[in-house]
Each structure stands twice: as C-alpha cells, then as structure tokens.
Amino acid sequence: MDNLQTALLFSAYISLFLFGMARLSSTVQRLMTARVRDYIRYAVRKPFNGILTGIFATVLLQSSTATSVITIGMVGAGLITFFHSLGIILGADIGTSLTVQLVVWKLNKLSPVFIIAGALAWILARGKWKRIGEATFYFGVMFLGLTLTAETAAPFRDSGLWARYYGEFKNPLIGFIAGAVFTGAVHSSLIPISILAILAQQGLVDLQASIPVVLGANLGTTVTAVMASFVSSMSARRSAAAHFVFKIAGAGTALVFLPAFLWLLENMSSDVAQQIALGHVLLNIGIVAVFTPLLKPFAKMIEKALPGNEEDLPLWPEFLDENCIAQDPKAALECVRKELTRQAVLAGRMARDSMSLLTEYNPGKKKNVFYLELVQDNLRTSIIGYLCRLSNDSLSENLSRKLFAYTAMTDDIERIGDHCVNLSELAQRKKDDDIEFSEPAYAELAEIRRLNLQSIADVVTILEKGGKGEMLAINEREEKIDIAVWIAREKHLERFHKKLCQTEAGPVFVEMLVNLERISDHCQNIAEHVAASDAAWQPVSKTPVISL
C-alpha cells in the first residue's frame, strides 16, 4: 500500500510540474505577443541571429516544442521563409538544455520564493507586471513539482520493483525508444530529461541508462511540430522535416558512438545529474555546429525532396522610402498608396481564410489568420509613423487631403483584419462546442461572404488604379449586405422559435453576422477615403445603415 501511495504521489507531482510548465508557456506567449515582430526582425537577418532567437524564446517559453510550433506556424503563414526558420529551430533545442541545467544547479529549491513573489505580483500589480507575476508563479510551481518529485522518488531506491523495471532500460535501444515515445506523448523533451536529472540526484539512475533516453527525447520533441505542419503550407512541412532530420542525425550519430560519448561525459564531471545535462547540451550544440555552415545546401536538399512554391510574405513595409519624405512628398504619398494596396491584399487573404472557417474549420488556417494579423498591425504602425513624419513638411491642400485619407484607410484595413480574427475565433468556438447551423443559415453566410470578398477585391482595385465604378459597386454592395444581415437575423430568430436550430447556435451566428457587416462598413469607408483623396472625384454618398 505504501508503494502504491508513493507511486500516486510521484505521478501527482509530475502532473504538477506539467501543469506549471504548460501554464508558464501559455502565459509567456501572451506576454510576448506585442514583441513578436521584434524577435522576427532579429531572427531573419542571419542564421546565427535565428539561433540566438530560438535560444531566447525557448528559455522564456520553457519548451523547444512551443518555439518550433510557433516558428512553423509563422512559416506556414508566410511571415518568415523556410530557410530563415532553420536557425530558430536549431537554437530552440539549446534553450531547452539550459533549463535542464537549472535543475542540476538545484534552482528548484528556490521554488517557494518564485511562488510567493509571483503570487504577490499577480494579485497586487497591474498591466504587464501582473502578467510577469503570473509567469513567475507558474515558474515556481513547475520547479516545486520537480522538488516534490525528487523527495517522493527517494524510497524507490530500496524497491525491488524499481530495480526490475529500471533494468530493462539498460538496453540502449529500449531507452532510446522509451524517451522518444514519452516525449512525443507529452510534447516536451524537458519533462523526461528533467525527471532523469532529479532521479540521478537521488541515486536512482546512472549515466549509461539515462543518455539513450535523452537521445530519444531529442527525437521525440519533433512529433508535435510534424503534426502541426500537416495542416499548414509546404514551407511549414519543410521546416518540420528539417527539424526531424536535425534530430535523427544527431541522436543517431550519438547512439552509434555511445561508448565514446559516455566516456567524454564521465571525464567532464563526476556528478551523474550534471553528466545528463551536459549530454543534452553537447548533443544540441553538436547539431548546431555541424548544420549551421551547411544550412544553404541543406535547405536546397529539403526543397528538392519536398518540391513546391514558397510564399514569402514580408513582415516589413516594402514601399515606404524614407528619402522621399524630405525630397518629394508627392512620391512619398505614392509609396504609401502602394503599401496600402499590399495591406488590402493581405486583408483579402485573411478574409478568405477566416470566412472559409465558418463552414469548414481548419486549425492551420486559423493560425495563419492570427499570424497575418501581426503583419497587419505592423504595417499600420509603420504607415502611420511614415505619414506623421511626412506631415511635418509643408504640404499642398491636395497632398494634405491624401495624407488624411491614407491615415484613415490604413486604420480601416487593419480593422478588417481584426474582424477576420474575430470570425476565426467564432469558428473555433463553433467547432469546440460542436455547434451546427441549419442549411439556410449556411446559405445566408455564404451569400454575405461572397459579397464581402467582392468588395475587398474592389478595394484592392481602387487602391491600385482608382475606379469610380468599383467605388459605386462597393457602396451598392454595402446596402445589399446590410439588408442580407437584417434578413438573416430575422430568419434565424424564426428558426429559433420553431426549434429548427440549436439554442447555442444563436449567439455565435449573430456575432458572425455582426463581424461580416463591419467588414463591409470598412470597405465602404475606404472607398469614400479614396474618393476624398482626389479632388477630381466626389465622395461616395454613404447609404444609411439599416437599424438592427
């Protein structure tokens, strides 16, 4: 009975460690969102910068898997290229090994300090510091779980049952497979390697049995990224495949030369826990050292093995020339017009992806919408800043009109992106709650979607080359969409009272209609701004919106 209780406590404390790590990762991801574009800017310049970014992100997220999945998602969305993702993926695995070193240094003994300090900041602080307090609290919980696991594991030393099962792991191949399978199941190599370090501190494992598990864990960490790539683009699948090749090459080589690897580790330290941590560090540093100089030919090899077109969506403005601000304000505004066109094309892509989720949910497309929103936010900030610098110069009345119109336009386009994000989140809620719409409801959404996509396409046209006909068409379409939304709401209310649809479907359906209508409103606003920016055209008169 004592053995059973010990085993249950051991499992419970490992679960506490898992909970702390998962919550820490999600909290830090929310905290980092506003700075993601800065990390990407740093990462895409050189592979070495990407390695540093991967290390830094993984130390913060406490999971190389989380870093790899985020990176592959960005590749799938076109934010970074397949080639530039390789450095981040290589660096992510070094970041995980640094966390294991913290366990070896027994930083987990300070877990009460992190929990108390984090809890106080979480409760008393406001804004960013509140989030930092939350992250610190979960960091402490994670290490508290490890501390309790170590204390609970001590009685296993005298257990015949432990000795029998542990003896099975003396076979390097079994240990390798066990490490890979366990890591693939829990989606983190940090968990099994940290537990090994803790058990080594209690004298429960030795180096010979532990290193094969470490090698298998390094391979198992690719499972989540590979699964995530299945619902993404060809570039994302290439990044996942490269990650797998990195790992299988490193782990396979170390396994073949296992006696020499063990000899090296034994001569570097006499402490088994430190040897395990060093084995993890050296393996990943070795992978980085071998593959970094070969990234270009390696990338070409992966591209040949997985052929297909790569869509690269630049995160940063392509047309905003700083020299034009002082030299030629008219040319500077032309630069802004071109960037607005690119921003509108991006909004069209977000609209197509988010609206397709309303009928057929795809997690890969939802991630694309999220990542593309980062680009939208960045473009809007860059365009606004460019226009502010331009406004410091003396402009003619006509150029001033354009400047004010372009300022409003970039905000409207960015708002279209916000509503696309809302639609994708509603689609996920519909999927998670197993909500189904009636066939008439799907038909109503399809018609409003069709009209909206036409309006966004016309927005791109008028930004590229003007077009009074397209502006009038957007205005007429806005009236049709207002009427269609009103009719859809009334018909849905009728279906609800006749019990022809699920009760839970009502709020979700209505929210979708509201966001679709707002997208149309912003398209009409843009058409009006384009007309107002040119004195030769009269602004399009706004059709009164039907009160809903």
Clarify whether residues 242 and 327 are in a common domain: no
Say if 168 falls within a structural domain: yes
Say if 497 falls within a structural domain: yes
Clarify whether residues 476 and 361 are in a common domain: yes
Residue 407 burial (10 A CB sphere; 0-12, 13-18, 19+): middle
Q: What would you report as the CA-atom Rg of the chain, rounded to the nearest whole angstrom?
A: 28
pLDDT at 538: 40
Say if 317 falls within a structural domain: no
Clarify whether residues 162 and 273 are in a common domain: yes
pLDDT at 157: 53
Clarify whether residues 380 and 465 are in a common domain: yes
Clarify whether residues 342 and 298 are in a common domain: no
Clarify whether residues 328 and 265 are in a common domain: no
Say if 538 falls within a structural domain: no
In angstroms, what CA-CA distances link 477 with 152, 440, 467, 507, 544? 68, 21, 15, 25, 13
What 3-state DSSP class applies to 230? coil
- Rounded Cα distance between 242 and 300, Å, is 11
Helix (H) or strand (E) holding 126: none
CA-wise closest residue to 23 among 122, 94, 106, 93: 122
- Rounded Cα distance between 25 and 20, Å, is 9
| CB distance 502 to 479 below 8 Å | no
Clarify whether residues 38 and 173 are in a common domain: yes
The identity of residue 65, as a single letter, is: T
Clarify whether residues 170 and 284 are in a common domain: yes
CA-wise closest residue to 539 among 527, 522, 521, 523: 527
- The dihedral built from the CA positions of residue 43, 47, 48 and 50, taken in this order, carries a sign that is positive
Say if 484 falls within a structural domain: yes
Q: pLDDT tens for residues 212-236?
A: 888 888 888 887 777 766 656 677 7
Structural domain containing residue 394 = 322-532
How many helices (H) does the chain have, and how many strands (E)?
A: 23, 0
Say which CATH number the domain at 450 has. Answer: 1.20.58.220
Say which residues have a Cβ less than 8 Å from residue 360's Cβ, sequence separation at least 6.
none
Clarify whether residues 230 and 342 are in a common domain: no
Total domain count, the chain: 2
Q: pLDDT tens for residues 454-494?
A: 999 999 999 888 777 888 899 999 999 999 999 988 888 88
Say if 539 falls within a structural domain: no
Say if 337 falls within a structural domain: yes
Say if 280 falls within a structural domain: yes
- Rounded Cα distance between 279 and 287, Å, is 12
Task: Among 271, 305, 339, give the residue marking a domain's end.
Answer: 305
Which parts of the chain register pLDDT below 70? 1-4, 6-7, 21-22, 25-45, 60-63, 65-66, 76-79, 107-108, 150-151, 153-170, 228-233, 308-316, 393, 502, 534-548
- Rounded Cα distance between 277 and 508, Å, is 49
Clarify whether residues 293 and 411 are in a common domain: no
CA-wise closest residue to 354 among 425, 446, 459, 448: 425
Clarify whether residues 474 and 338 are in a common domain: yes
Task: Among 305, 339, 369, give the residue marking a domain's end.
Answer: 305
Clarify whether residues 97 and 160 are in a common domain: yes
Q: Structure tokens of 181? A: 């399978």
| CB distance 337 to 406 below 8 Å | yes
Given phi > 0 = left and psi -120 to 50 = alpha, else beta, which region is 195? alpha
